[in-house]
Structure 1
């Protein structure tokens, strides 16, 4: 099936929807070769390398409309019409509608250009039936009629230009390019309830009241997994509701950061998920020495699937090269390095997590821990008791499958007292070995008041089996803030710490830091500083004691 012009956004939406339908079952057969080729509309060199690494081949790039004709005839039960230009803000609900009806959304302005013409049944003409709907009423309609035909939640930011709380009406969409089509195939494959309302997390708005019903009046697992990314309300250089947990009073949400992830329905199509523990490098056996300063270096942002697929993949290649090099200039460059990695890969892209774990065994010095805040990007201490218990069980299972005892953990600044006294101690009854949590405050530049000035860690729980490490985040190298010291200054902080100090560095790239920042810093560390893995730092804390 061909169009007379280059692929438009509505055409890509149709294609992504059909790809999602084709991957609803484990389709490990010839059609996968075609499906892999269709990613070329949204591909990069990294996509092709991943296909080569995980699938063992790079498929021939096929014309997307050749595939669309095949997909229509093989997987779709019909099509629906809508008017993209007039109903752009309704696209999330239109995709949900198409998903539950196993149909393809076609822009009414392009249907006449299809060659050959459509032979599918027309299921609905939403350009007429929904002509008076707003994003709110369309979302409400889908909730009222279809919520329990979906499996979880996704948010697709269609590009609202939100500039405050004063608007009575939703601001207009700005351009075609603001609609991120990448995740649509996975949303359709999983039958996710797709929505986006600017004020869905803002209390005392009708959007928030509707969203509160959406996340409670359903048959979904709790806490609810939210795919995509919530970035509608920026504050303090971040997004207030990005972790989703504090979006509604029920606090039963957590995010799987998947905005911009393409080909996810293809990579997640295999049903051979990981149920037995992955092999990690053994934790170093280190005896605490009061004349030594110990530091664990942790690479952050591993909760973000798109970063794992792109940025971390590049950093991982550089790390592998350094550890393989015989060049003496590398010196101590294959030091123990700990990476955060999303446990959601265990089911989303099991071959990808195996790739990283296999590479770690090759270096012998790389380790993995859970990202913020464990199973999902969330604020677990806010969750109600039953949901929180489910969440802890999920984290403990992630510990088992990833063969680790550590997690980075984020909470809002006002939640730490409850987290320290109630949430973290629960792990001591759930695990046989000491566990550790590397804390970061939200907002990040606010100190956690429950830690004393010179207190680097706390030990809590029954039998003192849970170690909480004080935040120490490295976001950039500009030297303009506490979290953005130069590599030399960061090393100086470690060198001047009292000997016997146990500390970690949690590195993120949002302020310009990179894995090269760590390599530069290590060059400045003095001989009394020993780099260890995150799990080894837990053992040292237990040895040293509170």
Structure 2
């Protein structure tokens, strides 16, 4: 058994503030979530966090609701030579690895909102302990785990922060996780000694204010809150970005592999036809780490669709994947379509993690953008999608992004309605900021409506390569539309010789090369 000190973890922080496991597995015990009770699943998740940071023989979990984790496991075996065996009894794993455990911390799960599981995991992370629901305490003791390190039953949601924040928890990553999620992400929280917390009320941010303000500049919050806008706004105020990760598994295994530079496989050939309306489609929700890890890759609706490769399409992947699951990130790149049609990756909103740039702590923003610029060079991505709150015309803000050499342009989405700026293009440091013109989104804009809108632009003469109105950026809502819906639109549009479907990269290069930069001239 090989052990590693916490100080070694701190050395493993890289330019994006993610903590990686420094021990790569040589062998895996694989167990399914579906055969365990909630209490057993939490026990195994916390055991996984303890074991995987100390041993090359590690634990890996599967879930029927997250089928892509089998794909990542198969890839580890085929490409990296990692052998594994399936285990059907969680208590067998406890018996195998009990020598790694210093004891247990008690919690109860009588209510799905009871914060004691989060407090127990936070305390357990500091003591090499597992978290144990009181309903399995007696059985745990039968297996020789008899030392109780703490009892978090009947503690408040702020207990861990109030009592443990300066007792050894890391200050660059926190985990926001609802107590009803008994196992996802908890292994990573244990490994990284991260505070795990949840504030249940949407419009009450007292605890989040305390926690986010105590973090280092440009820190990461993994998980999710009770809402989107208030939660992300609160985090942004303190220079913290969100990564939707509250259904993520096995980060203690996947993060252990090196994050190496990658190149996209796309083939770039800039069209030369002058009288064409150019359209680019970008699929939403690439910032959602748990979707990238759990269901997107193999799904017939999305990245695994039989329609992938039949038309040019833009995708995004959470930068967290590059650091916390580099083998997964690499598989996405390797399986991208390329040739006559291409899959092209851009950075998801709003860079390293989901935040609103106009609300982001100004002192943290420079660090955030520098890390983003570094990341984009490593993964050969040139464009960033931005979600912000009514700030499209804030050139001073965008200048801070576009001054960086690896950021060639921005795709802007307004939070309240992504197409609020109707395809307008502005310029920053001679680089385009392109707003969303159309949304392929259930109950907002259907396939027929989108086809009609683009056709109307063409009929109105918007087919001049030098005219900014001859470019349409379409954002596709992943939860209500899929690649079959895009295929329907593309097939209809292809009937018109005055329309061209291009990748986001080609789209931006056409704009840069051909659209007169009125705004930049006026400013200079």
Is the TM-score greater than 0.5? Answer: yes
Equivalences, count? 465
Residue 472 of structure 2 is aligned to residue 503 of structure 1: yes
> Hey, what does 2:105 align to over in structure 1?
80
Residue 241 of structure 1 aligns to a residue in which SS? Answer: helix
Q: Given the superposition, is the C-alpha separation of residues 380 and 44 from structure 1 closer, same or farther in structure 2, using an over 3 Å criterion?
A: closer
| Distance (Å, rounded) in 2 between the aligned partners of 1:211 and 1:286 | 49
> Hey, what does 2:329 align to over in structure 1?
353
Q: Given the superposition, is the C-alpha separation of residues 508 and 139 from structure 1 closer, same or farther in structure 2, using an over 3 Å criterion?
A: same
Query: 1:146: Cα distance to partner?
Result: 3.0
| Distance (Å, rounded) in 1 between the aligned partners of 2:62 and 2:321 | 23
> Hey, what does 2:134 align to over in structure 1?
108
| Distance (Å, rounded) in 1 between the aligned partners of 2:64 and 2:206 | 36
Q: Given the superposition, is the C-alpha separation of residues 151 and 67 from structure 1 closer, same or farther in structure 2, using an over 3 Å criterion?
A: farther
Question: What is the TM-score with the length of structure 1 in the denominator?
Answer: 0.78
Aligned residue among 27, 44, 50 for 1:15: 44
Q: Given the superposition, is the C-alpha separation of residues 114 and 392 from structure 1 closer, same or farther in structure 2, using an over 3 Å criterion?
A: closer
Query: 1:395: Cα distance to partner?
Result: 1.7
| Distance (Å, rounded) in 2 between the aligned partners of 1:41 and 1:66 | 19
Residue 135 of structure 1 aligns to a residue in which SS? Answer: coil
Residue 312 of structure 2 is aligned to residue 336 of structure 1: yes
Does the CA contact (< 8 Å) of 1:151 and 1:191 recur in 2?
A: no
> Hey, what does 2:395 align to over in structure 1?
421
> Hey, what does 2:191 align to over in structure 1?
189
Query: 1:106: Cα distance to partner?
Result: 2.0
Query: 1:338: Cα distance to partner?
Result: 1.4
Residue 385 of structure 2 aligns to a residue in which SS? Answer: strand
Residue 285 of structure 2 is aligned to residue 301 of structure 1: yes
Query: 1:523: Cα distance to partner?
Result: 1.0
Does the CA contact (< 8 Å) of 1:279 and 1:403 recur in 2?
A: yes
Q: Given the superposition, is the C-alpha separation of residues 147 and 196 from structure 1 closer, same or farther in structure 2, using an over 3 Å criterion?
A: farther
Q: Given the superposition, is the C-alpha separation of residues 61 and 7 from structure 1 closer, same or farther in structure 2, using an over 3 Å criterion?
A: same
Query: 1:123: Cα distance to partner?
Result: 2.1
Query: 1:138: Cα distance to partner?
Result: 4.6
> Hey, what does 2:343 align to over in structure 1?
366
> Hey, what does 1:164 align to over in structure 2?
none
Does the CA contact (< 8 Å) of 1:458 and 1:467 recur in 2?
A: yes
Aligned residue among 202, 206, 230 for 1:241: 230
Aligned residue among 490, 500, 523 for 2:450: 490
CA offset digits 1:233-274 (Å, max 9, x no partner): 4xxxxx3234x2x1158431111111212222222233x122
Q: Given the superposition, is the C-alpha separation of residues 321 and 426 from structure 1 closer, same or farther in structure 2, using an over 3 Å criterion?
A: closer
Q: Given the superposition, is the C-alpha separation of residues 422 and 44 from structure 1 closer, same or farther in structure 2, using an over 3 Å criterion?
A: closer
| Distance (Å, rounded) in 1 between the aligned partners of 2:51 and 2:327 | 20
Residue 504 of structure 1 aligns to a residue in which SS? Answer: strand
Q: Given the superposition, is the C-alpha separation of residues 313 and 249 from structure 1 closer, same or farther in structure 2, using an over 3 Å criterion?
A: closer
Aligned residue among 210, 221, 229 for 1:213: 210
Aligned residue among 407, 413, 417 for 1:440: 413
CA offset digits 1:188-209 (Å, max 9, x no partner): 122211101124x74xx5xx34
Query: 1:180: Cα distance to partner?
Result: 4.2
- Mark the runs of 5 or more structure 2 residues left unpaired by the alignment: 1-34, 465-469, 518-524
Q: Given the superposition, is the C-alpha separation of residues 255 and 107 from structure 1 closer, same or farther in structure 2, using an over 3 Å criterion?
A: same
Does the CA contact (< 8 Å) of 1:457 and 1:467 recur in 2?
A: yes
> Hey, what does 2:439 align to over in structure 1?
474
| Distance (Å, rounded) in 2 between the aligned partners of 1:545 and 1:378 | 31
Q: Given the superposition, is the C-alpha separation of residues 210 and 50 from structure 1 closer, same or farther in structure 2, using an over 3 Å criterion?
A: closer
Residue 509 of structure 2 is aligned to residue 545 of structure 1: no
> Hey, what does 1:156 align to over in structure 2?
177
Does the CA contact (< 8 Å) of 1:51 and 1:58 recur in 2?
A: no
| Distance (Å, rounded) in 1 between the aligned partners of 2:254 and 2:463 | 47
Residue 114 of structure 2 aligns to a residue in which SS? Answer: helix
Q: Given the superposition, is the C-alpha separation of residues 320 and 102 from structure 1 closer, same or farther in structure 2, using an over 3 Å criterion?
A: closer
> Hey, what does 2:53 align to over in structure 1?
24
Residue 122 of structure 2 is aligned to residue 90 of structure 1: no
Residue 319 of structure 2 aligns to a residue in which SS? Answer: coil
Does the CA contact (< 8 Å) of 2:199 and 2:207 recur in 1?
A: no
Residue 189 of structure 2 is aligned to residue 224 of structure 1: no
Query: 1:540: Cα distance to partner?
Result: 1.0
Query: 1:283: Cα distance to partner?
Result: 2.8
Q: Given the superposition, is the C-alpha separation of residues 54 and 90 from structure 1 closer, same or farther in structure 2, using an over 3 Å criterion?
A: same
Query: 1:535: Cα distance to partner?
Result: 1.4
Does the CA contact (< 8 Å) of 2:281 and 2:475 recur in 1?
A: yes
Question: What is the TM-score with the length of structure 2 in the denominator?
Answer: 0.81
Kindly report which structure 2 residues correspond to 1:364-443, keeping only aligned pairs within 5 A, or say none.
365-413=342-390, 415-417=391-393, 420-431=394-405, 435-443=408-416
| Distance (Å, rounded) in 2 between the aligned partners of 1:334 and 1:180 | 40
Does the CA contact (< 8 Å) of 1:407 and 1:438 recur in 2?
A: yes
Residue 438 of structure 1 aligns to a residue in which SS? Answer: strand
Residue 256 of structure 2 is aligned to residue 269 of structure 1: yes
Residue 123 of structure 2 is aligned to residue 136 of structure 1: no
Query: 1:17: Cα distance to partner?
Result: 0.3
Aligned residue among 37, 46, 51 for 2:68: 46
Q: Given the superposition, is the C-alpha separation of residues 470 and 312 from structure 1 closer, same or farther in structure 2, using an over 3 Å criterion?
A: same
